[in-house]
Amino acid sequence: METQIRRLDYDQIDEQIIEEAGTIIQKGGLVAFPTETVYGLGGDALNPESSKKIYAAKGRPSDNPLIVHIAEKQDLYRIAREVPEKAEKLMEAFWPGPLTMIFYKKELVPEATTGGLDTVAVRMPSDSIAAAFIRAAGGFVAAPSANVSGRPSTTTAAHVEEDLSGRIEMILDGGQAVIGLESTIVDMTVEPPVILRPGYVTKEKMEEQIGPLEVDKAIIAPDSGVKPKAPGMKYRHYAPRADLMIVEGPTEAVIAEISRRVEADRKEGKKAGILATDETAGRYPEGLVLSLGQRKHEEEIAMHLFDALRQFDETDVDCIYSESFEEASIGPAIMNRLLKAAGHKMIHV
């Protein structure tokens, strides 16, 4: 299969390209498209065969639910059995945007899309290319991140091409994703609602709208045998090819520990990579150092995380050490992705 790559300009979106992409979806094909979070791999959410194609293209386990993307708020009521008042408030505050909510599904949504569950995850992206594409595709696009399962999520069309070229019909190129981390996921079928995946929309922001929220223990604990209710809960995700380990503690102690380990690796003939920040990058005497940006600019760190992990894949490093990023307001989201990528391997100093 030859994969077409079509570049789109946000200032003047080419309607013909959008229509071509929408037609591919309606005919049962797959299209990767930009969103404000990461690139998505889109198929017809109401066609079980399309969902099966998504799982096959990604090499993704079929019990890992897909998110249904919509472009109109009223379309939620066509696929959700009930929409609680708290969900209405979150929609008012954060849709369109990087927030996914889980509802009990209507029969219209096949279980192939929901991983066999009676619930459906729904998001309304704010990206204008994504919105136009979803409308052209029929209004309901199932889309996980557009990467091979287990690898770092894709934040550029080049990342998508690297992973999925030859497996899908088209890639819509909208440039760099502006957030760089997948959406926050909240389960609205329970009371109080439960955060299943942290993201740009933080617990604090949501609690200002609806009061107390709980956080699923799977976010901070290693994977269990529980059937996942949302993407990214059960399987190792976001992993670079080299072994990744997170070092947590006071800044000086972290720099010293990483430097000691990099030197020891060199003596054993291993090459090490380091994920650092602008404030610390110049303080490591050895190793391939990549900075995620300034620590005080958490959005910058989030935007660059997956790209940095993929940059390491283009090198010959044998292992990677990362500083931790827990203090920022979206720090839990950043750390969630890092912990998944590292298989929960962390060193405390």
pLDDT in tens, 167-196: 999 999 999 999 999 999 999 999 999 999
Give, in order, the Cα–Cα distances in Å from 311 to each of 35, 229, 273, 295, 304: 21, 31, 10, 20, 10
CA distance 119 to 81: 9
The residue-averaged pLDDT of 68-73 equals 98
- The closest alpha carbon to 238, from 92, 128, 336, belongs to 336
pLDDT of residue 224: 47
8-state DSSP, 87? H
pLDDT at 110 over 70: yes
Pairing assessment for the beta strands 40-44 and 141-142 based on DSSP bridges: antiparallel
Residue 5: which residues within 8 A CB-CB, separation 6 or more?
157, 161, 170, 171, 173
Return the bridge partners of 123, or none: 69, 100
**What is the residue-averaged pLDDT of the chain?**
93
pLDDT value, residue 150: 83
How far apart, in whole angstroms, are the C-alpha atoms of residue 130 and residue 134? 6
Name the residue with higher pLDDT: 221 or 91.
91
Other Cβ atoms less than 10 A from the Cβ of 214: the count is 14
- When pLDDT is cut at 50, 70 and 90, the band that residue 64 belongs to is confident
Confidence (pLDDT) at 260: 98
More confident: 274 or 340: 274
Q: What is the pLDDT of residue 135?
A: 98
- Reply yes or no on whether the pLDDT at 88 is more than 50: yes
For 139-148, write each residue's pLDDT tens digit. Answer: 999 999 999 9
Between 237 and 198, whose confidence is greater? Answer: 198
The pLDDT assigned to 237 comes to 65
What's the CA gap between 34 and 156, in Å, rounded?
8
Q: Average pLDDT for residues 196-200, to the nearest whole number?
A: 94
Encode pLDDT of 147-160 as tens digits: 998 889 999 999 99
- Please say if the pLDDT value at position 327 is more than 80: no
pTM of the full predicted structure? Answer: 0.92
pLDDT digits (tens, 9 = 90+) for 284-317: 999 999 999 999 899 999 999 999 999 999 999 9
